[in-house]
Amino acid sequence: MNFELTPKQKQVYETVGEISRTVFKANAAKHDVEASTPRENLRALFDAGLNGITISERMGGMGSGTAGEDPLLYLLAVEQTARGDMSTAQCFHIHCHGAHYVDQIGTDEQRERVLKPVLEQGTLLNATGSEPGRTSRGAYNLITAAEPTDGGYILNGVKNYATLGADVSYNLIFAGVKGMAGSDGHLGILVPQDAKGFSVIQESWNPIGMRGAHSPSFKLDNCFVDKSNALGELGIYPRERWQARFHLSFAAQYLGGAEAIFDLLCEYLPKRGTASDSYTQLRLGEIRVGTDSVRWLIYRAAWMWKNSDREQAELFSMCAKHRAIENAVMAMDKGAQIAGSSAFWADSPMSRLFRDLRIHTLHENLDKTASTLGKFYLGEPYDTTARL
Ligand SMILES: Cc1cc2nc3c(=O)[nH]c(=O)nc-3n(C[C@H](O)[C@H](O)[C@H](O)COP(=O)(O)OP(=O)(O)OC[C@H]3O[C@@H](n4cnc5c(N)ncnc54)[C@H](O)[C@@H]3O)c2cc1C
């Protein structure tokens, strides 16, 4: 394994780092107050040519994503985005997720119709499986129902946590085909933003953190969607373990968040006059060790998607994600101890970052992740897409 980034990877890392420091950081407070989508940040990523980073090169994209030629490339962009603003990173991650799925699963017609505007005009995509009560029912036991009808499906139900739900050209949603159980009837379908019967539920996004990753609930009320928008065969998402392809871009977000804590501490502690304190030095060093360890787990896991057995890549990605969550929580804990309470005035960048990380580390379930690895090593049945 080569530990050097390629020239293209270096360029993406530096370009996004620069935008993150100058644009995302500056806009973060506004979107946190408003709980609004950081559209200008996403536009800046488009202007830098990165909107199609997980779309294949033959379509005009950059060929990243876990099924792509260069799995690490988009993770570097997600990490650097999170370093400036966690909410923008979640928006970018979900867009990359949706675009990669359409690129890999879609037909030529769907790729042309849905992905060309992404590449040429900066339109956005997402992916929403979440719905109220799903955690206890199991990820693929969806209540949102798709009833087959002449030429398409009639959709009914409520989805929640739809990042970019009000901003995308198409909401990629998952629903259960009426009369078919769980994974067998699992349907991925692109719902056009202006589809009749689709409506975003106003003021349904008001968490304490990740406020700029505007993720409202929406309603599907006898919403007809043409069959040309159905993606792949029924059940393909669970059967081909697509959710496992996204462990690493969550990990990259947590890594970027930990780096952001480290950046803030390096700036703040000398000003506060505590840089010469041995406990301050010790805690900061511990955050560095943890964060660098996580970085190399993620980068190795990305390498495995291209160079090793698929299942091993999935399992190692879960290791990386688990450590990335634990490290982010550790960095918050030790970082808070050495920063002290004055660093946490309500409108401070440190407060926002902590609120963001507290909410976002709940997005992926730490315990489920570790117990899935335990099952594998004990020879028990396991599912690498189990994450809630
Ligand atoms: C910022 C953010 C953005 C998101 N964006 C998206 C998106 O774009 N698309 C999408 O699909 N989803 C998205 N999600 C949602 C995510 O996928 C989950 O659906 C959501 O976090 C579930 O939250 P919850 O509080 O309902 O339950 P969870 O956080 O899943 O569960 C709450 C607690 O209950 C426990 N628990 C769960 N089941 C049981 C059980 N049977 N018995 C006992 N305990 C149980 C869990 O261990 C956990 O501790 C987003 C989440 C966040 C935080």
The predicted-structure confidence for 104-160, as pLDDT tens digits, reads as follows: 999 999 999 999 999 999 999 999 999 999 988 888 999 999 999 999 999 999 999
3-state secondary structure the chain: CCCCCCHHHHHHHHHHHHHHHHHHHHHHHHHHHHCCCCHHHHHHHHHCCCCCCCCCHHHCCCCCCCCCCCHHHHHHHHHHHHHHCHHHHHHHHHHHHHHHHHHHHCCHHHHHHHHHHHHHHCCCECCECCCCCHHHHCCCCCCCEEEEECCEEEEEEEECCCCCCCCCCEEEEEEEECCCCHHHHEEEEEEECCCCCEEECCCCCCCCCCCCCCCCCEEEEEEEEEHHHECCCCCHHHHCCHHHHHHHHHHHHHHHHHHHHHHHHHHHHHHHCCCCCHHHHHHHHHHHHHHHHHHHHHHHHHHHHHHCCHHHHHHHHHHHHHHHHHHHHHHHHHHHHHHCHHHHCCCCHHHHHHHHHHHHCCCCCHHHHHHHHHHHHCCCCCCCCCCC
Domains of the chain: 7-121 (1.10.540.10), 134-236 (2.40.110.10), 241-377 (1.20.140.10)
Give nearest CA residue, ligand 1 atom 53.
363
- Specify the pLDDT at position 43: 98
For residue 149, the model assigns a pLDDT of: 97
Q: How far, in Å, from the CA of 245 to the mean position of ligand 1?
A: 18
Identify the segments of the chain with pLDDT beneath 70.
none
In this structure, which residue's CA is closest to atom 32 in ligand 1? 135
pLDDT of 386 reads 82
State the pTM of this model: 0.97
Report how far ligand 1's centroid is from the alpha carbon of 308 (Å): 30
Nearest CA to ligand 1 atom 34: 135
Which atom in ligand 1 lies closest to the alpha carbon of residue 165? 8
